[in-house]
């Protein structure tokens, strides 16, 4: 498969995880990867420095996984509700980004075979 960021550039050295913490692969310098997905695994997690953590649901017939990661963003002095609304707007543009990557020849499939999952942001309690 291949991993791109929202500027349609390959994401190097990103981790691909199954079951939350088990790293099953890493992307090369152009964002390409090859992994063996464990049996009974229907979600994968992609992590990279400077990117939002991305969880995707796999379809049963997915053999070439193509995923777009969003750049991490910082929100100061904004309500949780507003942050989630802004992040969801960015998330909704992923299908259009996938289409652009396909048109530029960066992805092989017109539509993704995995569905990204939107994860709401929840603030961590302050340490005392």
Give the residue extent of every domain in the chain.
2-117
Dihedral (Cα; 102, 2, 43, 51), 10-degree rounding: -100
**pLDDT computed for residue 44 by the predictor:** 94
CATH 3.40.50.2300 fits 2-117, yes or no: no
Question: Over 70: is that where the pLDDT of 128 sits?
Answer: no
pLDDT for 81 equals: 87
> And the tokens for 108?
């092989």
Yes or no: say if 49 and 75 are a contact pair by the CB < 8 Å rule. no
Q: Are the C-beta atoms of 46 and 53 separated by less than 8 Å?
A: yes
Predicted TM-score (pTM) of the model is 0.86
């Amino acid at each position: 498969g291949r991993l791109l960021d929202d500027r349609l550039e390959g994401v190097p050295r990103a981790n691909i995880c199954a079951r939350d913490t088990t790293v099953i692969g890493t992307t090369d310098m152009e964002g390409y990867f090859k992994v063996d997905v464990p049996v009974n695994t229907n979600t994968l997690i992609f992590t990279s420095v400077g990117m939002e953590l991305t969880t995707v649901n796999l379809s049963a017939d997915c053999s070439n996984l193509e995923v777009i990661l969003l750049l991490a963003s910082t929100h100061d002095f904004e309500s949780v509700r507003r942050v989630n609304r802004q992040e969801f707007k960015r998330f909704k543009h992923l299908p259009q980004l996938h289409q652009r990557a396909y048109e530029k020849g960066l992805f092989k499939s017109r539509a993704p075979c995995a569905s990204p999952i939107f994860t709401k942001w929840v603030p961590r309690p302050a340490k005392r």
